[in-house]
Amino acid sequence: MKIAVCGKGGSGKSTISALLAKQMAKTKNVLVLDTDESNYGLHGQLGFAAPKDLMEYFGGKQGFKQKQRVPKTSPLGGLTAPGAAAGQQKSHFFEERWGFSDLPSEFVEEKGKIKLMAIGKIHEFGEGCACPMGVLTREFLENLDLEEDDIVIVDTEAGVEHFGRGVAKDFDTILVVVDPSYESLKLSRKFEELGKQAGNRVFFVLNKVEEDIEGDLLEAVDSSKVAAVIPADRKLFKASLKGEEFELELEEIAKLADFLDKN
């Protein structure tokens, strides 16, 4: 299963990704894929060192760009020839298909049953846009084969750009993290719309929820699609503020993992 964790900036995507990974790793093999070029804290929440950018495996941004042969007629700036069905054309970047055991160890941080990889980060002023990272994310997910007990949790960049890049078609499930803000509620409707267009199952995770506003949030979204309600938690907040590993376990996260396993 490939799960995308989406939402607006600051909604708690990385927090949910880290907590969910730790919970699901009790019974599954979990790969956490960091695709947010401006997120520098996910590895700390998992208790890992920062992984090397996978982009460097392909020679960095410049080397990666040189390998791209983008058809001018491609509306997504993608790597599949016009008219070719998904999976029918060989990747420009991968010689063979990869499973979890084929992931290049130099670019993987690992502890127990959790692996962490990062597509790439913006490291220097003027180095260029993050567009190549979007292409690599799509190519990587398309090329990745999963066994029955393998789970991929993708911590996406804030907003909806990955839908515009066509990455979302490779997800089985999209979790939209919704925090108590008008902007987050409004964006959640756009995620639901785009997810339907991409053929994804879309569920909501209400995050940072105080007891007195839970009812308002449930009224503002399709409550039948709410997979979890995560209460505001001071210990979690403090750990996030310090960039420390999450040691606590939340009953709501356990329920969310069980929900995903059954759905």
What's the CA gap between 122 and 145, in Å, rounded?
A: 28
Write down all domains in the chain, each with its CATH number in brackets: 2-262 (3.40.50.300)
pLDDT at 188 over 70: yes
pLDDT digits (tens, 9 = 90+) for 75-111: 444 444 333 344 444 556 788 899 999 999 999 999 9
pLDDT at 211 over 80: yes
pTM listed for this prediction: 0.86
Q: What is the pLDDT of residue 86?
A: 41
CA-nearest of 212, 173, 206 to 188 is: 206
Contact 22, 246 (CB under 8 A): yes
What's the CA gap between 132 and 164, in Å, rounded?
A: 14
pLDDT digits (tens, 9 = 90+) for 25-68: 999 999 999 998 777 789 999 999 999 999 999 887 777 766 66
Contact 175, 4 (CB under 8 A): yes
Q: What is the pLDDT of residue 144?
A: 94
Contact 263, 201 (CB under 8 A): yes
Q: What is the pLDDT of residue 140?
A: 92
What's the CA gap between 32 and 17, in Å, rounded?
A: 8
Cβ partners under 8 Å of residue 191, min gap 6: 6, 7, 160, 174, 176, 202
The pLDDT mean for the chain works out to 84
**pLDDT confidence band for 9 (50 / 70 / 90):** confident
pLDDT digits (tens, 9 = 90+) for 107-163: 999 999 999 999 988 777 766 666 778 888 888 999 999 999 999 999 998 787 777
What's the CA gap between 204 and 174, in Å, rounded?
A: 8
